[in-house]
Amino acid sequence: MSEILRIENVSLDVEKKKLFDFSITINSGDFFLINGKNGVGKSLLLKLFFLKILPSNGDIYLYGKKINENKKINILEYRKKVGVILQNDYLIPFFTVYQNIEIASEIQSKKEHFKKRIDEILDWLDLTKISGEFVNKLSNGEKQRVVIARALINNPQIIIADQPENYLDESTKKKFFFLLESLNKLGTTIIMTSNCHNMLSVNYKNLNLGKIND
Amino acid sequence: MINYQEVLKKILLKDEEKFFHGLSFVVISLIALHVVLYFNFYKFSSNWINLESQKTTFILTNNNDEKEIPLSISENIKDFLINNSLIDSYKIIDSSAIKSTLGLDKEDEISGLDLPMVFQVISSEEKTIDSIYKNIIDISENRFVEKYSHEDELFEISIIVNRIKIIIFIMFLVVFTLFSFLVMNIVKAALVTNFKLLEMLQIMGASSIELAKNISQSLIRKILPGSLLSLIFVFFISVVLINLFGANFEFFDSSLSTELIISSLFILVIFLILFLLSLLFFLTIYLFNFFENRFFDKL
């Protein structure tokens, strides 16, 4: 298993408060589940994993190379390999379901990949019938499925998800977790926060934020 | 496939498109009008000053016992002016024109008014003017002859003309700066409103320069129809102004009018290209900076 991200003695200074202070190595094929109570900084930690924030202290190594804010090209390349599932208000409301998924391929220059995958993804997430609908007319559950579809369309090497099960019904949740486990078995790295860890049958690593912060 | 730029076009300023067309038309017309006025005024005033500075006015005063210069002398002067090859052109100011200028149209021949002979000579050579002066004294049989070079009197006028040029240029800069400032602020407001969407594009790996280039190109496309319309409008205005001004100047001929109209169109096209390119450049720099500052979230 090759190293993707190595975090050494990293901490964040948030409003004069020191958060985290931990070290971790993420390899390809790892499955991390981040635990912790509300407000401990789970979403913040996820931002650190997809490099939307940089640590106040400590070092981050991307594929073995130390990064800082001047190495944006490397960070952009990394971001293109990551599928991020955040809350559904990050969708473009006046675009259709299809267009919202397509934009990810457009940005990550994986148009050929898109053609091969789009029908499969739409079908798998029950989005085929509503693929031409504008996102602002969808229910929260449907929007969440679009967010998942957008994150998965480019077959990412790493999936980072912030409570992806939100708004999903039970059967979709089961399907989604099954998909995550399958992708993980194929080598995809998964880092997520979730309240449905009981649905996971794969061996995952726990990252308990309560302990880290203590 | 949807185009990446189309996405940004729809995200940004979607509802304000008509407003942007109108705004760009009004403001670019205003700026272009300044440009065309500046260059036309420059050309106009330069032509006028150049021509005026070559003029010398001669005033031949009659003797005390004469009501006006004898016909034989005035005819000799005319012949001299016609036959002198060194003179570019000349103009004898008719006594009735002098009377008219002085508001004495109704004065008859028996009034006590003595009128001098006044004529203007156009020549850029000082030696020629001196030689004419000597010859006129001889021809006029030593009557009193005064000569006034217009160049001396043009000094103050040229200062005023330069001041007007500076004012037009400053006004151009003010309007241009205000427009740029307004566009930047509208864009910033639109970006801040839609930032969550743009942030997602950044998370997915869109680079700042890519976003900046695409957004600024989208904005320029929104400005383009209004600016093309303003080019036509200002060109039309400048044609009207050139003909309006031209009618009031004697030196003005149709070839100069055509030259000015063609040069106005040329200047307007060059201005519009440079204006849009510089706006594109500044917008790209501004947006690049905007996205680079938000590449990482601040803690």
B contact test, residue of A107, A117, A136, A146 with most B CBs within 10 A: A107
Q: According to the model, what pLDDT value does residue B159 have? A: 86
Q: According to the model, what pLDDT value does residue A39 have? A: 78
Q: Choose the final residue of a domain: B119, B142, B165.
A: B142
Q: Check B205 against A106: CB less than 8 A apart.
A: no
| Residue A159 pLDDT class (50, 70, 90 cuts) | very high
Q: Would strands A158-162 and A82-85 be described as parallel, antiparallel, or unpaired? A: parallel
| Residue A144 pLDDT class (50, 70, 90 cuts) | very high
Lowest mean pLDDT among A11-20, A60-69, B222-231: A11-20
Helix/strand/coil for A27? strand
Give the separation between CA A174 and CA B257, rounded to whole angstroms. 81
Beta-bridge partners for A18? A13
| Residue A41 pLDDT class (50, 70, 90 cuts) | confident
Closest approach of A101 to chain B, Cα-based (Å): 11
Q: What is the DSSP letter of A88?
A: G
Q: pLDDT tens digits, residue range A93-118?
A: 888 999 889 888 888 776 777 788 88
Residue B125 belongs to what domain range?
Answer: 63-142
Q: According to the model, what pLDDT value does residue B89 have? A: 80
What domains, with CATH codes, occur in chain A?
29-54+81-213 (3.40.50.300)
Percent of chain A with pLDDT over 90: 33
- What b-and-e string marks burial along B204-243, b requiring 16 or more CB atoms within 10 Å of the CB? bbbbbebbbbbbbbbbbebbeebbebbbebbbebbeebbe
* Co-location of B69 and B194 in the same domain: no
The distance of Cα B29 from the centroid of its chain, to the nearest Å, equals 15
Q: Check B203 against A79: CB less than 8 A apart.
A: yes
Q: Check B204 against A50: CB less than 8 A apart.
A: no
* Co-location of B189 and B70 in the same domain: no
B15 domain-assigned: yes
B95 domain-assigned: yes
Residue A79, amino acid: R
The dihedral of CA B44, B46, B49, B54: what is its sign?
negative
B230 domain-assigned: yes
- For the record, the structure tokens of B85 come out as 């090859």
* Co-location of B106 and B201 in the same domain: no
* Co-location of B158 and B259 in the same domain: yes
- CB < 8 Å to B206, chain A: 107
Q: Choose the final residue of a domain: B142, B165, B199.
A: B142
Closest approach of B9 to chain A, Cα-based (Å): 12
* Co-location of B175 and B122 in the same domain: no
Q: According to the model, what pLDDT value does residue A127 have? A: 92
pTM of the model: 0.75
Q: Check A79 against B295: CB less than 8 A apart.
A: no
Q: Would you call B207 an interface residue with chain A, using a CB distance cutoff of 8 Å?
A: yes
Strand arrangement, sheet containing A57-62:
A17-27, A3-14, A57-62, A65-67
Give the separation between CA A45 and CA A55, rounded to whole angstroms. 10
Nearest Cβ partner for B297 among A47, A76, A107: A47
B165 domain-assigned: yes
- CB < 8 Å to A54, chain B: 296
The predicted model gives A65-73 an average pLDDT of 85
Residues of chain B with pLDDT under 70: 1-15, 99, 102-113, 245-254, 256
Closest approach of A108 to chain B, Cα-based (Å): 7
Beta-bridge partners for A207? A34
The predicted model gives A47-74 an average pLDDT of 88
Q: Would you call B171 an interface residue with chain A, using a CB distance cutoff of 8 Å?
A: no
Q: Would you call B201 an interface residue with chain A, using a CB distance cutoff of 8 Å?
A: yes
Helix/strand/coil for A122? helix
- CB < 8 Å to A89, chain B: 196
Residue with tokens 């997809």: A50
Q: According to the model, what pLDDT value does residue A130 have? A: 93
* Co-location of B199 and B287 in the same domain: yes
* Co-location of B42 and B161 in the same domain: yes
Q: According to the model, what pLDDT value does residue B250 have? A: 52
Q: pLDDT tens digits, residue range B57-66?
A: 888 888 877 7
Q: Check A90 against B297: CB less than 8 A apart.
A: no
Give the separation between CA B107 and CA B127, rounded to whole angstroms. 39
Closest approach of A148 to chain B, Cα-based (Å): 13
Give the separation between CA B258 and CA B277, rounded to whole angstroms. 29
Q: According to the model, what pLDDT value does residue B1 have? A: 45
B57 domain-assigned: no
Q: According to the model, what pLDDT value does residue A71 have? A: 80
Residue A176, amino acid: F
Q: Would you call B14 an interface residue with chain A, using a CB distance cutoff of 8 Å?
A: yes
- For the record, the structure tokens of B38 come out as 């500046």
B134 domain-assigned: yes
Closest approach of A92 to chain B, Cα-based (Å): 6
Give the separation between CA A88 and CA B193, rounded to whole angstroms. 17
Q: Would you call B196 an interface residue with chain A, using a CB distance cutoff of 8 Å?
A: yes
* Co-location of B95 and B134 in the same domain: yes
The distance of Cα B86 from the centroid of its chain, to the nearest Å, equals 33
- Count the Cβ atoms, other than its own, within 10 Å of residue A129: 9
Q: According to the model, what pLDDT value does residue B15 have? A: 66
* Co-location of B93 and B214 in the same domain: no
Give the separation between CA B80 and CA A50, rounded to whole angstroms. 95
Which helix (H) or strand (E) element contains residue A4? strand A3-14
Residue with tokens 């190379």: A65
Nearest Cβ partner for A53 among B200, B205, B296: B296
Q: Choose the final residue of a domain: B107, B142, B177.
A: B142
B288 domain-assigned: yes
Q: Check B2 against A50: CB less than 8 A apart.
A: no
What are the distances in angstroms from CA B5 to CA A60, B13, B294?
Answer: 33, 13, 20
* Co-location of B158 and B250 in the same domain: yes
Nearest Cβ partner for A50 among B3, B203, B208: B203
Give the separation between CA A163 and CA A166, rounded to whole angstroms. 6
Closest approach of B263 to chain A, Cα-based (Å): 45
Nearest Cβ partner for A94 among B10, B295, B299: B10
Q: According to the model, what pLDDT value does residue B298 have? A: 81
- How many domains does the structure of chain B reveal? 2
